[in-house]
Structure 1
Amino acid sequence: MMHPLQNCLRSTWFLVKPSILCSLFHASHESSSLALPVEASHYTGSGSGVVGRCDVDILVSKVHAGTSEDEVFQCLVNDGECNSIQLSHDLIDKLLRRFKDDWKSALGAFKWAASRPDYKHSHQAYDTMVDILGKMKQMDRMKDFLEEMRQGHLVTINTIAKVMRRLAGAGKWENAVRVFDELETFGLKKNTESMNLLLDTLCKERNVEEAREIFLLLKSHIAPDAYTFNIFIHGWCKINRVEEAQWTIQEMKGHGCHPSVISYSTIIQFYCCRYNFQKVYELLDEMVVQGCPPNVVTFTTVMCSLSKAERFEEVLQIASRMKATGCKPDMLFYNCLIHALGRAGQVEDAIKVFEVEMPKTGVSPNTSTYNCMIAMLCHHAQQQKALSLLQDMGNLKICKPEVQTYYPLLKSCFKTGKIDTLLSKLLNDIVNKHHLSLDSSAYSLLIHGLCRANRSEWAYNLFEEMIRKDITPNYRTCRLLLDEVKAKNMYDAAEKIEGSMKKL
């Protein structure tokens, strides 16, 4: 009979609306200023004069942040509009996701839905609630909630995984072990799957030695599998003890488990991060000898590290080696190869990979592929080709651009002086065509570029837009803009910028 683990380890107690802002950018030739933001909402519906508002938005609007779970419950229970909504598992999942960082609202809404006579929570909703409480460090409430689930026979292995990971993440790894010890009381078994969950939880939180101690206690009762040893290989590498990781490969063989590509690739990644490519090449050869040849993920990992180390000749050699083995390239492989070719200045070769080799092998580009190509073309002053690629993204509809897609193009506008024409068009496309929101990096890029282009009025309008959207500008951006507006005698603007700088 298996003895409880906590008897062998240190004993501890188990504690256990947003508005949608779409800014319309418009720079006129006369003023070169940014238009004031236009608020737009995709919500519709009855009630408050907004048409077609979706159910989850109605529920969120009724909840006030900071109130207690009981107040949230009472607020929803006593609201006729909320109680007229037809509940579904999908609706509650969306509602809990909205409250993933607000445990009081999440728990109040969860209890309200459970009180409805026409609704019963799914296992997923219970697990999500456990995860939210754990994430927000509400360990006592998570313990109470888990006890309710236990009484209702609602605990699954997925529930236990979330509980153990939140406890270990909060530094309470002994409590995670106690949960494992009590598995049978939840109607679950201590087997290879549940043991691996515990070991993986501990190793990911760098408690590898503790995980090893537990494994030695359990292995006579529970048979390990290849995944068990891969957990330890990853864990030892994470705490920079690669010798133990390599020894674990030998231990695997002793238990009749064959090392997999994952086993070797984890150690290869360790050496890649330290640019120890001699060890990397030795391991690649060993994999072949052991009848466990590298896969596309292994080769891509090595290529990316070689590219970071600017060893571009070796990147191409690894790419050729991979193709020679018959290993089929995938999207991430090509993204890495294109990036390396661009950094090496081999623009035409990168274009050939994108336009010829990828279609030939049936690999479709994703947003990252386009981002890489556009950045490379802009860096090499081929702005028109970059714009053509951006247009292709819209026409082919394989993938959609993101704000980062536009960064190189925005920068090139300032380099080429195409501010009144191309810059205005790009900003309009970002906001109105693709409905993207500018982030802090995009605002900083634009403000710096406009200041250097002597467009401080437009730059200041962007600064005001940031403040309205609660995006905090960095000190360098504020300092640069402040100097520019002072030089233009824009004293009111200078005062507001100085006020913002005091809050940084």
Structure 2
Amino acid sequence: MQRLYQQTKSLCTKYHHLSHSFKPNTPSNLFHTNHKPTKQTHNPHAFTETRSGLGLARLDTDPDTSPDDPTHCEFSADVEKIYRILRKFHSRVPKLELALHQSGVVLRSGLTERVLNRCGDAGNLGYRFFVWAAQQPNYRPRYEVYKAMIKSLSKMRQFGAVWALLEEMRRENPQLITQEVFVVLMRRFAAARMVKKAVEVLDEMPKYGCEPDEYVFGCLLDALCKNGSVKDAASLFEDMRVRFTPSIKHFTSLLYGWCREGKLMEAKFVLVQMREAGFEPDIVVYNTLLSGYSQAGKMVDANELLKEMRRKGCEPNAASYTTVIQVLWSREKMEEAMRVLVEMQRSGCEADVVTYTTLISGFCKWGKIERSYEILDGMLQKGFLPNQTTYMYIMLAHEKKEELEECVELMEEMRKIGCSPDLASSPMGHDPTNWLQGLDNLPPRMQPNPCSIS
């Protein structure tokens, strides 16, 4: 291991200059990539009001502040101050309102949505602040604020409050009502498995001066299929074919839904329907079906599909091969997974960070740490820098063997390539006490650089 690791260290040094432009890639979803909608929504949300009057809370007209702006830190401080007030007084409305008035925070453009984002899953806190802000003279919520509030209330399943908010928008800011607002609501209904309510949104949209189209209908199908309601989505698709012209995105969503359920016969039927409608499968469609075959253990069919892709002129990409590799390592067929990597490289398709990380995770899972270092070295030789996820798999494998020294070495190397480790990325990061006790037991030469742990 030390020989391999020394090679890794030298390669890390060689590619250190790449770290400044490196953006970590995480294998969030190897199986399905949405056709990106081309529909764009207009956000007519000018913010022009000013306020001067009683109280210390003030309204400003400063434009939105980006993270690179010098005032971003000031935004962060204000958000944290408001968040602490909300946490302390959320159940005592009069005291909450008084504390917000006396906070000295400038109620300006961009602040409200940042506070809502800070509240996260504590939607009741965000709602309290939204209500208070809306009561301030001359304050009119922006489009982003309404959208964030609808997301938050929907996540809390306060759908009655969502419709009430939409009514308020219709009365006071009808120009802010866009298709995307209803898409957010549809997705939350679908996530709650409230299919009828999700479909009813289509019928309600015209009442708010917003007509549904193929884009909105596609978002509804996508939400239903991703939340386990593919049967309902398929039925809805058939019922609405006259009203909404089918698109390749519609078929892809249904295909994904059936593959996710393991219903490959239904998935193949969707493929037939797609071709009859005049659409040829693209890389997204093929990768979705490839995932379905692989997850079902039908590797022969998966390999045949790869051949068909080449015949049809739709060359498999890194996601295609990585899908197969992931299924193979989950079945402890690592040598077959490596053969897929070789085939991938011979075909001229370059592996990416996700591919290498998938292989590393497989070798680590089955206790073959030496092989994971070989993959790590190959990855670095190709110019790809590993991310926290890549290192996490190796550290977990070492932790299982109680090899804490190796974990510390990895954290040092992460720091050298600009991939800052933190306690959460360490195997014992969920229990900092155990982690720190482990560090105390290391010999002095192995004590990590304090700057490497944030």
Q: Deviations over 1:68-104 (max 9, x none)?
A: 6xx547732564423x311234432231123333343
Conserved? CA contact 1:199–1:211, under 8 Å: yes
What CA distance in whole angstroms lies between the structure 1 residues aligned with 2:319 and 2:193? Answer: 32
Q: Deviations over 1:113-171 (max 9, x none)?
A: 22334643221211111111111121211111122123321222221111112223333
Asked if 1:253 corresponds to 2:275, the answer is: yes
Asked if 1:265 corresponds to 2:287, the answer is: yes
What CA distance in whole angstroms lies between the structure 1 residues aligned with 2:210 and 2:445? Answer: 60
Q: CA deviation at 1:381?
A: 8.6
Asked if 1:55 corresponds to 2:78, the answer is: yes
- Count of residue correspondences: 374
Matched letter for residue 144 of structure 2: Q
Structure whose alpha-carbon radius of gyration is higher? 1
> What's the counterpart of residue 364 of structure 1?
385
Q: Alignment partner of 1:104: what SS?
A: helix
Asked if 1:113 corresponds to 2:136, the answer is: no
Conserved? CA contact 1:338–1:373, under 8 Å: yes
Q: Alignment partner of 2:426: what SS?
A: helix
> What's the counterpart of residue 456 of structure 1?
none
What CA distance in whole angstroms lies between the structure 2 residues aligned with 1:281 and 1:224? Answer: 29
Asked if 1:310 corresponds to 2:332, the answer is: yes
Q: Alignment partner of 1:256: what SS?
A: coil
Q: CA deviation at 1:297?
A: 1.0
Asked if 1:142 corresponds to 2:165, the answer is: no
Matched letter for residue 434 of structure 1: I
What CA distance in whole angstroms lies between the structure 1 residues aligned with 2:359 and 2:76? Answer: 46
Conserved? CA contact 2:90–2:128, under 8 Å: no
Asked if 1:284 corresponds to 2:306, the answer is: yes
Q: 1:423 to 1:186 in 2, by over 3 A?
A: farther
Conserved? CA contact 1:63–1:72, under 8 Å: no
Counting only pairs closer than 5 Å after superposition, residues 80-229 of structure 1 correspond to structure 2 as 80-82=101-103, 84-117=104-137, 119-151=139-171, 152-153=173-174, 154-229=176-251
Segments of 5+ residues of structure 1 without an aligned counterpart are 1-51, 436-504
Q: 1:352 to 1:142 in 2, by over 3 A?
A: same
Q: CA deviation at 1:287?
A: 2.1
What is the RMSD of the two structures over their aligned residues, measured on CA atoms?
3.4
What CA distance in whole angstroms lies between the structure 2 residues aligned with 1:57 and 1:381? Answer: 39
Conserved? CA contact 2:85–2:99, under 8 Å: no
What CA distance in whole angstroms lies between the structure 2 residues aligned with 1:63 and 1:350? Answer: 47
Asked if 1:321 corresponds to 2:343, the answer is: yes
What CA distance in whole angstroms lies between the structure 1 residues aligned with 2:299 and 2:286? Answer: 14
Greater length-normalized contact order (CA 8 Å, ≥ 6 residues apart): 2
Q: CA deviation at 1:240?
A: 2.9
Q: CA deviation at 1:433?
A: 5.9
Matched letter for residue 221 of structure 1: R
Q: Alignment partner of 1:219: what SS?
A: coil
Q: 1:333 to 1:401 in 2, by over 3 A?
A: farther
Counting only pairs closer than 5 Å after superposition, residues 309-458 of structure 1 correspond to structure 2 as 309-342=331-364, 348-355=370-377, 357-376=378-397, 386-407=407-428, 421-422=441-442, 434-435=453-454
Q: CA deviation at 1:55?
A: 1.6
Segments of 5+ residues of structure 2 without an aligned counterpart are 1-74
> Deviating runs (4+, > 6 A) in structure 1?
378-383, 423-430
- Normalising by the residue count of structure 2, what TM-score does the alignment of the two structures yield? 0.72
Matched letter for residue 204 of structure 1: K
Q: 1:339 to 1:208 in 2, by over 3 A?
A: closer
What CA distance in whole angstroms lies between the structure 2 residues aligned with 1:86 and 1:424? Answer: 50
What CA distance in whole angstroms lies between the structure 2 residues aligned with 1:171 and 1:65? Answer: 34
Counting only pairs closer than 5 Å after superposition, residues 233-244 of structure 1 correspond to structure 2 as 233-244=255-266
Conserved? CA contact 2:439–2:447, under 8 Å: no
What CA distance in whole angstroms lies between the structure 1 residues aligned with 2:346 and 2:221? Answer: 38
What CA distance in whole angstroms lies between the structure 2 residues aligned with 1:170 and 1:382? Answer: 44
Q: CA deviation at 1:334?
A: 0.8
Q: Deviations over 1:345-403 (max 9, x none)?
A: 66555434323x32332211101222233445666897655543321112332342443
> What's the counterpart of residue 460 of structure 1?
none
